Amino acid sequence: MSLISPVFPRLLVPPGKVLSSKNDGVVDDIRTTAIDLLASLAGKLLEESESSSTSSTNAFVEGKGNIIKQEDVEDDDVKPCESELASKSPPSDITSETPLEQTRVSDCERGLGLKPCYKKEDCDDITEETGVDIEKREVKTPPGTDGVLNQSKLVCRDDDENYCKYNRFSDRCRRFNRPLTRVGHRRMMTKYGRAVPRDTRTGYYHVLFDASFVASALFLNSTCGYMCLDGCLLYRKRKLCNGYNPWKHETVQRKRRLSDGGLSSESVTNSPQKGESVKLSIKSFRIPELFIEVPDTATVGSLKRTVMEAVAALLGDGIRIGVLVQGKKIRDDSNTLSQTGLSCRENLSNLGFTLEPGHVPLCSESHVISTPTDSTNLSERSLDSRIPFHLQDADHVISSENCVENNQELVPYQSDISADEPSSDSRALVLVSALEPEALAIVPLNEKSKRTELSQRRTRRPFSVTEVEALVAAVEELGTGRWRDVKLRSFDDASHRTYVDLKDKWKTLVHTASISPQQRRGEPVPQELLDRVLAAHRCWSQHQLKQNGKLQAAATMVGSSM
């Protein structure tokens, strides 16, 4: 048995010793063996990285201080209803156009059946808005989903590439500085906008840590289980807890995806005892992604250390092995394999394994991960880390890939896992259903990550119904020309949705709503929503016309009077 990875030293264990083939001992053996190896590895890594892992500064704290200091009053987003409150010290930048705004608001909101709100809410803790809120349309979260809609704000902890660069920051600030208003937040964004680009393609050193740990290769049957563990979460949470300072490294420049290295395996034949021996091979462990931040001035050596720390943090928290049969997790360790239905080849093809966080990070910070999902999307489940227990279920499932024929080399799946389809997007703590074997089928060898070289196009992420709902609600209120505001209002926490994305989505929504249902593709959007889309679209475009007309009229007036 060997452990090989591009990053880690090769660990070899005499094949004969590794696993006994007692039916009821196989799983345990796999577990202990793997864990032992990984544990020793972790120990080594921790040891090696000890000296370099304590260098975090408190720049983050400093950053926070700045933010607080700068939290002076700043007029911010002007919402329709706000302009209706002209008497109440209207935001400066809207003052001059208040009449227009009023008209616009009234028209459109009437058209949309939205009532302006005249009362000032105590928004201290409820919303980070500017304190005046129009009555918000209740946004319902589909039953059974974990999508969180906070007011009309979509709280999206959907893990994504931006999480580390943006959400983490805002998370902390928000949690610890509750009173921070959106103003402060905006400041933060502004302040750090450059240092921490929101665009996924230019943000962080994004190390796709495809280190393929070849954990073991046993038995003849060649049933391959891919083990995936979300290292990212552990890493992040840990760092968060430890006061890791993401802002220490400010000049993050480029995202790098390091693809996995080699992969190999060795076969081990076991002497059967009574019953039939179970033979399977676990091809690799995969850590989907680790997010790492380093300044572009960092040395290669420090990059290495950073990666090391990340891995150490990941492994240092301990790992457990889960066993899946036909996609269902087998929790009862006492049953024999045959009792579990694993005795013949066919059965084994249904076997899979998972790497799971060994223990829950101490960090109690809530909602590090909560993914708004649609109830129909089985491939995603959100987890509420407030209930740490859930972490155990947050394992990355892997597919029980059946490499059917003996020791056949793993099929290089179109495994650009992070490539195109959402189902193949390996995200932190997003559980990929084992029913979708190819979902996380990892790429062994040859499959050089295409994305490494080709364009770094972002992975496609279809909007969920929940998101569409939030978008529609926001546009109803804000109109179709204020995407930045829409973003801030309803997708502030969904860092992977840029305002351009929202604008584009709206564009397609309008189109979708305009075509016949038969021509629509993808996850169906409730007709009710599409109706609202059209209504809002009409309303706001009409308003735009009016406004233009008025402006023109005003312009001619001015012109003629001169």
Please give the residue ranges that form the binding site for DNA (CB under 7 A).
Answer: 189, 193-194, 197, 200-201, 455-461, 480-485, 496, 499-501, 503-504, 507-508
Nearer Cβ to DNA (237/255): 255
Please, are residues 231 and 314 in contact by the beta-carbon 8 Å criterion?
A: yes
Pairing of strands 206-207, 148-150: unpaired
| Helix, strand or coil, per DSSP, at residue 225 | strand
Nearer Cβ to DNA (59/499): 499
Nearer Cβ to DNA (12/500): 500
Please, are residues 399 and 406 in contact by the beta-carbon 8 Å criterion?
A: no
CB of 190 to DNA, least distance (A): 7
Nearer Cβ to DNA (254/507): 507
| Helix, strand or coil, per DSSP, at residue 498 | coil
Place of tokens 């994004």: 206
| Helix, strand or coil, per DSSP, at residue 249 | coil
CB of 523 to DNA, least distance (A): 13
CB of 499 to DNA, least distance (A): 5
CB of 18 to DNA, least distance (A): 43
- Between CA 457 and CA 295 the distance in angstroms is 22
CB of 70 to DNA, least distance (A): 16
Nearer Cβ to DNA (135/504): 504
> Tokens standing for 239?
């760092």
- Between CA 168 and CA 171 the distance in angstroms is 5
| Helix, strand or coil, per DSSP, at residue 125 | coil
DSSP 8-state assignment for residue 403: -
Nearer Cβ to DNA (235/463): 463
- Between CA 5 and CA 315 the distance in angstroms is 14
CB of 214 to DNA, least distance (A): 33
CB of 240 to DNA, least distance (A): 25
How buried is residue 199: exposed, middle or buried, by Cβ count under 10 Å (0-12/13-18/19+)? middle
What contacts 151, CB < 8 A, 6 or more positions away? Answer: 126, 127, 133, 136
CB of 201 to DNA, least distance (A): 6
Residue 126 CB neighbour total at 10 angstroms: 11
Nearer Cβ to DNA (266/499): 499
Nearer Cβ to DNA (16/193): 193
> Tokens standing for 367?
């909602």
- Between CA 535 and CA 95 the distance in angstroms is 28
Nearer Cβ to DNA (58/552): 552
CB of 481 to DNA, least distance (A): 3
Pairing of strands 2-3, 153-155: unpaired
Nearer Cβ to DNA (402/466): 466
CB of 148 to DNA, least distance (A): 20
Phi, psi of 153 (to 5 degrees): -90, 125
- Between CA 319 and CA 114 the distance in angstroms is 51
Place of tokens 């279809």: 462
CB of 199 to DNA, least distance (A): 8
What contacts 141, CB < 8 A, 6 or more positions away? Answer: 147, 148, 149, 372, 466
CB of 492 to DNA, least distance (A): 12
- Between CA 491 and CA 474 the distance in angstroms is 9
> Tokens standing for 193?
């906008």
Nearer Cβ to DNA (166/244): 166
86 to 34, 102, 489: CA distances (angstroms):
67, 9, 21
Nearer Cβ to DNA (196/207): 196
CB of 462 to DNA, least distance (A): 7
52 to 46, 56, 60, 80, 305: CA distances (angstroms):
10, 9, 19, 52, 7
C-alpha gyration radius of the chain: 27
Going 476 to 478 to 483 to 484, the CA torsion angle's sign is: negative
Nearer Cβ to DNA (269/508): 508
